[in-house]
Structure 1
Amino acid sequence: MSNSTLSHETVPGAAGAGETIGRIGHAGLRVSLVLVLGWIGAMKFTAYEAGAIQGLVSSSPFISWLNSILGVQGVSNLIGTIEILTALALVLGIWSARIGALGALMAASTFALTLTFLFSAPGWEPSLGGFPALSVVPGQFLLKDAVLLAGALVLLGEALQRLARTGAADPLART
């Protein structure tokens, strides 16, 4: 068999299996983003979590100013509220591409912002020579947000494609 013959062969059932696995993966991506954002968002209303994020917030050039206005628990509550609303919008995105796009954009923005903490918070492990050695907290803890950001962008792309296809057919398109 030549290489050109091999490149044109198909595996029976692979396309159908691929579509099924893709749908399961897509649903799993949505559920896991909702779970992460909802759960972590709810935790933000506890003093424990407010204290845990205080250093990250204080080191951020983007949101540190919120501490002087809202205080530590107030900032944590605000972030928690945004995360819970984002999770809710991702759930509603199942039925409304417009709300789904908003939720995915909010999620992507959240994870992009938290990734900036890698550069503003003390996260490089000095005992290992600094960069690129990450401390466990916050460094390695924050690194997972790169994957979460990619997942949010996948859902955003999907929602925008649905909007382009359906437009006015979206039941909540006028909201």
Structure 2
Amino acid sequence: MIIKRKNNKNKEQEANWEERVIQVKRVTKVVKGGKKLSFRAIIIIGNEKGQVGVGIGKATDVIGAVKKGVTDAKKHIIHVPLTKTDSIPHKINGIAGAAEIIMRPSAPGSGVIAGGSIRTVLELAGIKNILTKQLGSNNALNNARATINALNNLRTFKQTAQDRGININQLYYKK
């Protein structure tokens, strides 16, 4: 008798993900026979250990839209480099549409200083100390995508040294 254990591992990985619904909007499409009503859900998923994703789903019912949004978010997961103090390595900006986000690492104990969908993305990524400023648009989806854009462009010292083809100590000490 052969026992398969692959499903067990997948179930454990699935259990670690936390999902949050940011927005559910009722949208209409004008067609020949009148108006077609559907729902758009914006979902953010993360494991609070440096992985986070944003997805949207549209369906004729809210539950279907949320399920599609979760599936879409899992397809667009990014890895975020975290410091020992659960912050980001350096200051960075993110842009999506008319939304612009400025992020700065912060001292331990200061918490997540952000609002709206930005706060949710950062919390689900596992960031605990950060300062952010939202510029331009108030659109929840564009702000979440701008945050993902900024987090995706973060670099660690190790990555920078590898890109430049030098030893990591040469980044710290100039001769």
Class of the TM-score when normalised by the shorter of the 2 chains: under 0.3
The structure with the greater share of residues assigned to helix is 1
The higher radius of gyration belongs to 1
The structure with the greater share of residues assigned to strand is 2
Report the TM-score when normalising by structure 1: 0.27
